[in-house]
Amino acid sequence: MKVVTGVVGNDIHVVANRLIDISLQERGFDVFNLGVNTYLEEFVDAVIETDADVLLISSLNGEAEGWCRDLGILKNRFDLSKVVFMIGGNLSVGEVSIDEIIPKFKNYGFDLVSHQSDLNEGLDKLEAFLKERS
Ligand code: B12
């Protein structure tokens, strides 16, 4: 399975991105890592070009909301119905309840939302979701 990943917007936190790349490869995914400072449109272009099964976005600096709220518009513009959309990291500035964050990002069009949680736990959830879908 192919996964496009990277860090959204003007976010330069690179460490998690490297760990995500390695962890995905270890789980058998083909990884297309766009790295830090990647705009939503660039992610979608890469998903289309690579015919990816999953778009896994990381955000650490708390600005994901501003960079990701147009996902629904892009999903409507292109046929991305078979793609699984996941986001994780630090999805807010400061302490915001997870009960507020998860529905917000699901409304933007993400299937899986992982806020301040363990990477492997998140990737287990992704694999379970893909298995259920197939
Ligand atoms: C190192 C660091 C920096 C370095 C980054 C160097 C680099 N090139 O990577 C520098 C000093 C440059 C930096 C800059 C800034 N930083 Co900084 N930084 C950190 C710090 C100390 C560690 C981040 C890190 O590498 N952790 C190690 C990795 C492995 O852990 P992680 O990032 O948490 O990722 C894990 C999980 O989140 C998860 N995960 C991540 N993504 C995803 C995605 C999915 C799908 C899943 C399932 C899981 C997942 O998996 C990872 C492994 O377990 C954190 C504080 C902290 N202790 O976490 C602040 C922190 C992330 N930074 C912060 C901020 C605000 C900034 C700045 C905006 C500060 C400023 N005013 O300039 C700038 C950002 C500028 C920008 N354009 O992005 C805040 C973010 C606040 C928020 N979200 O509420 C933090 C939390 C500090 C704080 N407590 O305020 N930073």
Place of tokens 């936190």: 13
Ligand 1 centroid distance, CA of 107 (Å): 24
pLDDT above 90: percentage of residues in the chain: 96
Return the CA Rg of the chain. 13
Nearest atom of ligand 1 to the alpha carbon of 87: 45
Q: d(Cα 3, Cα 130) in Å, to the nearest integer? A: 12
pLDDT above 70: percentage of residues in the chain: 100
Residue range 29-74, pLDDT digits in tens: 999 999 999 999 999 999 999 999 999 999 999 999 999 999 999 9
Q: pTM of the prediction?
A: 0.97
Q: Which of 13, 45, 70, 111 is catalytic?
A: 13
In the chain, domain spans: 21-78+104-112
pLDDT of residue 87: 98
57 C-beta neighbours (distance < 10 Å), count:
27
